[in-house]
Amino acid sequence: MATLLCADDIRMKFSRAMSEMYRAEVPQYAELLAIVAEVNREVLLRNSALESRFEATGELERLSVERHGAIRLGTAAELKQIAGLFAVMGMQPVGYYDLSIAGVPVHSTAFRPVDDAALKRNPFRVFTSLLRLELIDDRNLRAEAERILARRKIVTERAIELARIFASEGGLSEQQAEEFVGEALETFRWHKEAMVDARTYAHLFEAHPLIADVVSFKGPHINHLTPRTLDIDLAQQRMRRRGLTPKATIEGPPRRKCAVLLRQTSFLAIEEPIVFPDSEGGALAGTHKARFGEIEQRGAALTRKGRKIYDDALATKEDASFEALPDDWSALRAREFAYFRYAAARTGAGGARREDPPLPIEDLIEHGYLRLDPIVYEDFLPVSAAGIFRSNLGDDAGAAYASASSRTDFEEALGRATLDEFELYQQAERASLQTALNKLGVCEAELGLPIDGKSKS
């Protein structure tokens, strides 16, 4: 019987193929990868402690393959089809993001692997947005957009068939996996032929540039593929030096010694030639701006308490407000503002502990029995994502839509609930601590730790 490839294997194949395809479609992507690789080498050379930490936690191996992409969908049916594709690659919907509050008429989730082993193998993510047609004020234009979207099919029949085989067999053969990757790429490929005439495109663009991008084409072309840098400020300087013009500001938290959450910057990568059909069966040439280059720097995942401080600081739009988040790992842990992964750094703590009172977990850390490392933030920030979208679509106004968040509608379209990212980080932290304490021979009850792992809000 042929060996079956698991979801992690297929995700690795797909992310590599996607990178190759995007490099061919957007030539500046290759230059961006070169800049990021150069900056990362320099950072690790001058920071041996960071390199050692990355080696110990497996971060070093995944750094060079780490990417995230983004697509925009038009209908609930498309969202369900995409979810089926990503399931073959072990990618689940994590989080709900309402971008309408920042002036972009979509709501989104991030499809990504969720367990530690899968993330270490390849943390490929796709930020997936669903157009909120109800936010189009013009009823006639809204109805026209619905008719246009109803005509297209974004996933090939063979890809759907292979997804069914994966679900029933628990994997795909090498040949089937290669075929699946090829079929899935068709969903994300750029198609220059518009589905609408130039007049309809103009009306859609006037309603919002993103609406035109979603509705006017045959599929949800990948609009950026983002590598991870260890110093986004330095990378942005190199981008300017190499002729790439990034956004004036970096989205996300200000620069810190102890990086948290996510910082991003981008540049318009290409203005694409497109072809509009005309009423006489001919074609009319035009252009479209949708795809861009982006880099990101990922920091530590914050707890709900830490995230509230970040969100409150963001609302003030003043860097000084972020001082409420300590720029020190020990303080972030002590105040339960960030999540950490624990590892047994030494053995024999059970024999070394005091009997009365029990040895506190802080002592295990201080005396070198426990090592802790910040858990990488694997998700996204809605305001940052909206800022990137608007910048590259040529719409910097950012006026919020007068509409409530609609998580229920999104999850109904998806066909399932999105996963809570905070719970995933909490589970990862808790599991790592249990494993480390078991290796040390220390009982959790002695440390006064809650058994249910729900101490952090």
The answer, yes or no, to whether residue 216 has pLDDT greater than 70, is: yes
The answer, yes or no, to whether residue 355 has pLDDT greater than 60, is: no
pLDDT of residue 244: 86
- Which tens digits make up the pLDDT trace of 86-95? 999 999 999 9
- Residue 95 backbone dihedrals phi, psi, to 5 degrees: 80, 160
Of 17-26, 141-150, 252-261, 364-373, the least confident: 364-373
The answer, yes or no, to whether residue 211 has pLDDT greater than 70, is: yes
C-alpha 336/C-alpha 379 separation (Å) is 19
Rg of the chain's alpha carbons, rounded to an integer?
Answer: 23
Contact assessment for residue 54 and residue 128, using Cβ atoms and an 8 Å cutoff: no
Neighbours of 287 (CB within 10 A): 9
pTM across the whole model? 0.89
- Residue 358 backbone dihedrals phi, psi, to 5 degrees: -60, 155
Q: What is the DSSP letter of 326?
A: -
- Which tens digits make up the pLDDT trace of 112-162? 999 999 999 999 999 999 999 888 888 999 999 999 999 999 999 999 999
The answer, yes or no, to whether residue 352 has pLDDT greater than 50, is: no
C-alpha 70/C-alpha 97 separation (Å) is 13
The answer to whether position 114 is within a domain reads yes
Domain range enclosing 97 = 7-301+379-419
pLDDT of residue 346: 67
What tokens appear for 450 in the block? 């809650």
Q: Average pLDDT for residues 57-71, to the nearest whole number?
A: 88
User: Considering only CA atoms, which of 117, 5, 125 is closest in space to residue 66?
Assistant: 125
Q: Which residue has the tokens 């399932």?
A: 416
Strands 106-112 and 125-131: antiparallel
DSSP string, 257-280: SS-BSEEEEEEE--EEEEEEE-TT
Q: Which residue has the tokens 């994997």?
A: 171
The answer to whether position 127 is within a domain reads yes
Is the pLDDT higher at 58 or at 257?
257
Q: Average pLDDT for residues 423-439, to the nearest whole number?
A: 93
Q: How many angstroms separate the Cα of 378 from the Cα of each of 111, 230, 255, 302, 381? A: 11, 15, 18, 11, 11
Q: How far is CA 188 from the centre of its chain?
A: 16
Q: Which helix (H) or strand (E) holds 296?
A: strand 292-298
Q: Average pLDDT for residues 435-443, to the nearest whole number?
A: 83
The answer to whether position 219 is within a domain reads yes
User: Considering only CA atoms, which of 284, 258, 294, 290 is closest in space to residue 385?
Assistant: 294
Q: What average pLDDT does the structure give for the chain?
A: 87
What tokens appear for 43 in the block? 């950072």
pLDDT of residue 112: 98
End-to-end CA distance of the chain: 49
If one counts the domains in the chain, the total is: 1
Find the length of the chain: 457
The answer to whether position 292 is within a domain reads yes
pLDDT of residue 399: 57
pLDDT of residue 36: 95
Residues 6+ away with beta carbon under 8 Å from 240:
246
Rounded (5°) CA angle 135-70-396: 55
C-alpha 269/C-alpha 444 separation (Å) is 52
C-alpha 77/C-alpha 149 separation (Å) is 10
C-alpha 174/C-alpha 301 separation (Å) is 36
The answer, yes or no, to whether residue 391 has pLDDT greater than 70, is: no
The answer to whether position 374 is within a domain reads no
Say which CATH number the domain at 51 has: 3.10.180.80
Q: Average pLDDT for residues 388-403, to the nearest whole number?
A: 58
User: Considering only CA atoms, which of 407, 396, 375, 391 is closest in space to residue 269?
Assistant: 391
Q: Which residue has the tokens 């072990």?
A: 90
The answer to whether position 398 is within a domain reads yes
pLDDT of residue 353: 44
The answer to whether position 322 is within a domain reads no
Q: Average pLDDT for residues 296-315, to the nearest whole number?
A: 93
The answer to whether position 439 is within a domain reads no
Q: Which residue has the tokens 């830490």?
A: 306
